[in-house]
Structure 1
Amino acid sequence: MTIYVNARFLTQELTGVQRFAEQVSLALNTQRNDLIFVSPAGVLRKNVAEELNVKIIPGGTGHKWEQVALPSFLRKKGSPLLLNLGSTAPVFYNNKIMTHHDVTYKRYPQSYSRKFRLLYNSLIPLMLRGSKHVITVSEFSKNEIAKVYSFPHEKISVVYNAVGAEFSPAHGVGKENYFLAVSSPNYHKNFHGMIEAFIALNKESNVRLKIIGKASASFSTMDFSEFLSTSDKVEFMGRVDDSQLIELYQNALAFVFPSFYEGFGLPPLEAQACGCPVMSSNQASMPEVLKNSVLYFDPANMDDIKNAMDKMISDTETRNRLINAGYENSKRFSWEESALKVSNLLNSLS
């Protein structure tokens, strides 16, 4: 039986959700020969589309394509099973598996635009109700989805993120004098707390703070001008490509992950794979994903964040221990194993 995969994620900028969908798709494609990947026009990563042999289905783009053109096309094919690895799916097409990473928009609505909140609060309950099964990225998120939407636990499977082989340590490269953070400047990411703690620390240190990433139109962004006016040691770098990102991970003194809420939290795992010691928030999914391989802090406590930063600067033994522990932790995750779990789910439902 042929299974269709919604590859709309290839028309979207590459963030954590799209990376998960892309990497699981690539691994699945090597494990199975019964998948057809379909997408609207406007593919951004054409090399991936070619590898997946993506079929372009006409009928608009974005939500219009996903909600109208895609289900119409599938019904003409006999309503086959549809695998959705992005964060949305056709509402009125029931022979589907959907992926939902987290319910941040419920827990921290101030992080999102009003339009995004209205869309998700309207569509997600309908998408869940019409799904045979749901994939999410951590046990934490599984429990959150079940709790918020009264959705059966047994219909939710956990499929972890992972890190590609290109994320690896650079041997013989010395660490530079900066902390690195990777994310978008939205409230639940807690960059305001991290920057405030860093500025307080930098009265006593010469370490710099480099921040990578930019906000999506779906997010409600925060204004950091007040912080930046008081420090010239904080640098917003915008988006960078993977090769630049890997080099920044490899050379950083340490990685900071201050988030209040994450369904999984891929950047600290990427940092660990590149030999970068990590200090992280102790909330949400982070203890599940990072276990005892990081220096934890309370993200709501500025002094706790500051003390973690200070320890990373002053304690070489702790940094070396976390480099080794982090590298081992990153190896617990594999795109191939995650894809195999999805493949087994497809076999059970198709």
Structure 2
Amino acid sequence: MKSEKTILIDSRWAGNTGIGRLYQEVINYAPSALSYEYVESKMGLGNLLTPLMLGEEIKKSNADVFYSPSFMPPAFSKIPFIFTVHDLMHLFYYSKLHKIYYEQIIARLAKKAQKIITVSHFSKNQLVDILGIPDALIKVIYNGVDGHFLENNEEYESDHPYFLYVGNRRKNKNIPAMLTAFANAKIPNEFMFYLSGNPDSELEPLINSLGIQKRVRFLGFIEEQDLPKLYKGAHATLFASLMEGFGLPVIESMASGTPVLTSSTSSLPEIAGGAALCVDPTEVSAIQTGIEKLVNDEVFYVECVLKGLERAREFSWEKTAKETWDTILSKSF
């Protein structure tokens, strides 16, 4: 007779992304009293047939519950399933097909879940208001911040003070507006703007037209272990996104003792918790004024450092993982 409970996990999400980070931390803190199986299919993460594939994986498994760290639920399931919806970006910043798929397929399947986890109250409200998911079905569990950010004392070696952006180049990230605000800001020319990733064909013409070629540096792929000192060395982090479900760079930067300029919209004020400078991301002049304030107002700058450190200590991956496993196991068996 089977004694220990078995969890089937969609491990395809492992990798160097925000979702991959959540997955890894949840697995790191997995209860030892359980046994685990993993989805065997190598189907691509964006494949529209993923729900059918997950249903088949569940059908052939002896697991008691299915868990996925991201938005794809199974099309059918003989066991309870729990999955995480980080945001509804697909409805706003992807193709029309993505929007239809999310509204007609994902939303309908989601209502069959035992529980849906999301990463902010902003995202929860969107799930309820836009997709019609019942409020009681949704559990908000914040992402965490690694203790290395709080403990690190090393700084990235730079010949100039710099602002930092960490993230991808999707439209919601609002990078052109941040570059324009940086170029217009009345701050010393010694200040640089460092961005993760490589140069791309969309940003380079803008950078050239703004005349800041020598003040912008692309850092390429950044290894996870290098992030703390990169944040630590920055004068401030710029993260004025148009929409975020959570925004990991906000708390990673604050945990590093580095002030954050972020948006006054979506989940970002919620996550910042009054410890960051929040501006209207649709107004380049507002971002510009914020950059100038972080350079010229020393008292405000120090307040941001202290408040940010205090706020960051409220987040931990151990707490995130514990709440996630409590949700997975609650009434599952």
CA shift at 1:225, angstroms?
2.5
Task: Say whether 1:243 aligns with 2:225.
Answer: yes
AA matched with 1:152: P
CA shift at 1:202, angstroms?
5.9
CA shift at 1:158, angstroms?
0.6
CA shift at 1:297, angstroms?
1.2
Task: Say whether 1:7 aligns with 2:11.
Answer: yes
Q: Give the structure 2 partner of residue 100 of structure 1.
A: 85
Q: Give the structure 1 partner of residue 329 of structure 2.
A: 347
2:203 to 208, 213, 224: 224
Q: Are the aligned partners of 2:147 and 2:316 in contact in 1 as well (CA < 8 Å)? A: no
| Residue segments in structure 1 that go unaligned for 5+ positions in a row | 40-56, 216-220
| Residue segments in structure 2 that go unaligned for 5+ positions in a row | none
Q: Are the aligned partners of 1:185 and 1:222 in contact in 2 as well (CA < 8 Å)? A: no
Q: Are the aligned partners of 1:186 and 1:222 in contact in 2 as well (CA < 8 Å)? A: no
- How many pairs were matched up? 320
AA matched with 2:277: L
User: Alpha-carbon deviations, 1:105-155, whole Å to 9, x = none?
Assistant: 21x23xx35665565455422431332210000111111011111110000
CA shift at 1:323, angstroms?
1.1
User: Alpha-carbon deviations, 1:284-333, whole Å to 9, x = none?
Assistant: 11111111111121111111111111111112222222111111111101
Q: Are the aligned partners of 1:74 and 1:80 in contact in 2 as well (CA < 8 Å)? A: no
1:349 counterpart SS class: coil
Q: 1:70 to 1:206 in 2, by over 3 A?
A: same
User: Alpha-carbon deviations, 1:214-254, whole Å to 9, x = none?
Assistant: 79xxxxx9811232112121222232101222221010011
Q: Distance in 1 between matches of 2:171 and 2:12?
A: 27
Q: 1:83 to 1:182 in 2, by over 3 A?
A: same
Task: Say whether 1:137 aligns with 2:137.
Answer: no
Q: Are the aligned partners of 1:91 and 1:127 in contact in 2 as well (CA < 8 Å)? A: yes
Q: Give the structure 1 partner of residue 25 of structure 2.
A: 23
Q: 1:22 to 1:214 in 2, by over 3 A?
A: farther
RMSD across aligned C-alpha pairs, in angstroms? 2.6
AA matched with 1:318: F
2:164 counterpart SS class: strand
Task: Say whether 1:195 aligns with 2:199.
Answer: no
Q: Are the aligned partners of 1:7 and 1:37 in contact in 2 as well (CA < 8 Å)? A: no
Q: Give the structure 2 partner of residue 287 of structure 1.
A: 269
User: Alpha-carbon deviations, 1:251-288, whole Å to 9, x = none?
Assistant: 00111111011111111111111111111111111111
Task: Say whether 1:329 aligns with 2:328.
Answer: no
Identity of aligned residues (%): 27
Q: 1:24 to 1:222 in 2, by over 3 A?
A: farther
CA shift at 1:170, angstroms?
4.3
Q: Distance in 2 between matches of 1:303 and 1:171?
A: 34
Give the 5 Å matches for 1:257-268: 257-268=239-250
AA matched with 1:324: L
Q: 1:172 to 1:131 in 2, by over 3 A?
A: closer
What is the TM-score of this pair, normalised by structure 1?
0.83
Q: Are the aligned partners of 1:297 and 1:305 in contact in 2 as well (CA < 8 Å)? A: yes
Q: Distance in 1 between matches of 2:285 and 2:42?
A: 50
Q: Distance in 1 between matches of 2:63 and 2:114?
A: 13
AA matched with 2:64: P
2:142 to 154, 157, 160: 160
CA shift at 1:93, angstroms?
2.4
Q: Are the aligned partners of 2:254 and 2:308 in contact in 1 as well (CA < 8 Å)? A: yes
AA matched with 2:16: L
Task: Say whether 1:178 aligns with 2:180.
Answer: no
Q: Are the aligned partners of 2:8 and 2:63 in contact in 1 as well (CA < 8 Å)? A: no
Q: Distance in 2 between matches of 1:169 and 1:335?
A: 15
CA shift at 1:89, angstroms?
2.8
AA matched with 1:228: I
AA matched with 2:202: D
Task: Say whether 1:299 aligns with 2:301.
Answer: no
Q: 1:184 to 1:222 in 2, by over 3 A?
A: farther
What is the TM-score of this pair, normalised by structure 2?
0.87
Q: 1:134 to 1:170 in 2, by over 3 A?
A: closer
Q: Give the structure 2 partner of residue 218 of structure 1.
A: none
Q: Are the aligned partners of 1:5 and 1:35 in contact in 2 as well (CA < 8 Å)? A: no
Q: Are the aligned partners of 1:8 and 1:86 in contact in 2 as well (CA < 8 Å)? A: no
